[in-house]
Structure 1
Amino acid sequence: MFTLPLGDRARLRPLEPWQAPEFLAHIERARPTVDPWIPWASLSTDLASATATLQRYADRQAEDSGRIYGIWLDGTLVGGVMFTRFDKDAGTCEIGCWLEAAGEGHGLVTRACRLLIDWAFAERGMSRVEWWAAAGNTRSIAAARRLGMTHEGTLRRRYPHRGVRQDSEVWSVLAEEWPAPDGTDDT
């Protein structure tokens, strides 16, 4: 298993089904900030459902169609980032994130997402990375802005969550717009 540093106190590493007890405890702590926005968080309510959530991502990774990673701060799982969709043939993927209150304010999501975007463009040859956020999720939209993404539009009443139809904002960055991992411009 690999671990990548996100600063002195934080690490990024794969989140796997065997970690379901730790994931469930984390989701319980994160529920107030993630439940309004992330449908799978509301579905991870016991050990079986938390395991199923992580197993879905393990299956997606095996199919090369998605991945999930946890963010640990001082040894405690406080959030994560993921490829919710990964389509190597089309050259597009979608990333997402979540964080509990204890992980906020450390720049963890921005640093972790930069690693995922770097990998998608440099290693996998993606052409486009997307970010979809519920229109009311100001923290997610702010993260897309920090990553230098462009707001492409809003899909009105795109999906139901907790009995309310949600609008989705679509943000993206293209390979030619993304800076090289060493900070130099490849053009």
Structure 2
Amino acid sequence: MKNLAKKMLNIMNECSHVLKKGENNFHHYKYATSADVLEKVNASLVKNGICSIAVPELLNIVDVTNSKDNIERLATVKMNVLLIDKDSGETVTITGIGSGQDSGDKAVMKAQTAAIKYAYLLSLAISTGDDPEADQKTDENIKAINRVSKGAYHCYDCNAEINERIRLYSEKQFGRALCIECQRKHKKIA
């Protein structure tokens, strides 16, 4: 697997970071979209002569009740991605697990999208600048305690110091404390 390993190192280097271009306006967070991950990875795979074949396996699909008491489908998919070196024929399989929930017929597709995205993110050590184990509520509470103890408030996005009036306005408008500049950025996105 010497040839494939060398090419995989090139791919890991070329795909070391994916920007978070997606934004969840309801929960107020940014994320790396599956399309952005796949676009970057595919370009590097092709450049390095690696073919990919994705094979999904439905692990589970169940009915669940959402917060509005509506029935939705929750699917969990295992995605095996076979990577083949065009020059040597060497292969390696990477795997990802994903879940998706939907009231229509998209639960399986959402699960597949998550599974392939995380197969690549984890197997190629791609950074998006976040930590899926992070506890945002705890982090926000600690930040709030630190702000109050220091007698100052800071922008949630860029950490610039802001006054209480700006903090109160931005929390009402955006759900978190933002400086004037970050408020402008969020208004442009919306």
TM-score of the superposition, structure 2-length normalised? 0.23
TM-score of the superposition, structure 1-length normalised? 0.23
Higher share in strand: 1
Higher share in helix: 2
Larger Rg: 2
